[in-house]
Amino acid sequence: MVTFETNKIENMELNTENKFIDLNFNRKGNEEMLNDSEIFYLKMNQRRTVRDISNDPIDPEIIKNIVLTAGTAPSGANIQPWKFAVVSDNKLKNKIRLEAEIIEKKSFEKLFSQQKLDDIAFTGNNWEKPFLTEAPYLIVVFKEKYRIDNGTNKIANYYPNESIGLAMGLLFAAIHNAGLVTIPYTPHPISFLKRILDRPDNEAPVMLLPVGLPKDDAKIPDKKRKSIEEIMLNY
């Protein structure tokens, strides 16, 4: 297992003093902005949630770049309250899958309402989670709930939920941009991941993303996204 921490001094935005630097920004013309925005939309519109992930190897430098991209997200007071645990060890993946499937089997057989089962039926989802061992990488996103000063004092983090949400959005975009696929996986309870990966009390697992290439025979539900009229409100 490798854990990439993105709150390093090399991050240009991280500055412990009240200093400012010039913004490095290249202003685009309207036509270029329009073109770039459409190209990016068309690319992201090809993103789909994929459960059928192959075990084909992926260059770890690609995963590192994906995590670095997630680490560029804005955060409250630039605290950057996130850790990305990258799991490639097969024994750890097997352990995660075993515990996850115990939770999922109980949920599907005893806890989920019929309404929920009906709502997710189109996905083909069930308690078995083969992507947890088949994908070459698992990225577990941890939210830093608070900081610890001198090993004892708790220091508040600002807007950790919003910050981690922004980072995960960029994480998904970076995975798709790299030509890989994933599925947002959130077993409930998800706290077992903190124990398996031996993370401290001030961190809470939020989501697990298996990352890799799709299988040659991968299938996805035949679903459409909402139209612009359904999601955009003009005032």
- Assigned domain for 193 exists: yes
Task: Tell me the three state secondary structure of residue 3.
Answer: strand
- Assigned domain for 2 exists: no
What is the domain count for the chain? Answer: 1
- Assigned domain for 185 exists: yes
Local confidence pLDDT in tens for the 235 residues of the chain: 555 554 443 444 454 567 899 999 999 999 999 999 999 999 999 999 999 999 999 999 999 999 999 999 999 999 999 999 999 999 999 999 999 999 998 988 888 888 988 888 887 778 889 999 999 999 999 999 999 887 788 999 999 999 999 999 999 999 999 999 999 999 999 999 999 999 999 999 999 999 999 999 999 999 999 999 999 999 9
C-alpha–C-alpha distance, residues 230 and 212, integer Å: 32
- Assigned domain for 55 exists: no
- Assigned domain for 31 exists: no
Write the CATH number for 205: 3.40.109.10
Q: Give me the pLDDT at residue 17, please.
A: 66
- Assigned domain for 235 exists: no
Structure tokens given for 105: 């089997």
Please give the C-alpha separations between residue 168 and each of 48, 81, 98, 138, in angstroms, as whole numbers.
15, 12, 25, 14
pTM: predicted TM-score of the whole model, two decimal places: 0.88
Q: Give me the pLDDT at residue 7, please.
A: 46
52: alpha, beta or left? (left if phi > 0; alpha if psi -120 to 50) = beta
- Assigned domain for 129 exists: yes
Q: Give me the pLDDT at residue 23, please.
A: 95
Structure tokens given for 119: 């709502």
Q: Give me the pLDDT at residue 219, please.
A: 93
Range of the structural domain that residue 210 is part of: 64-218
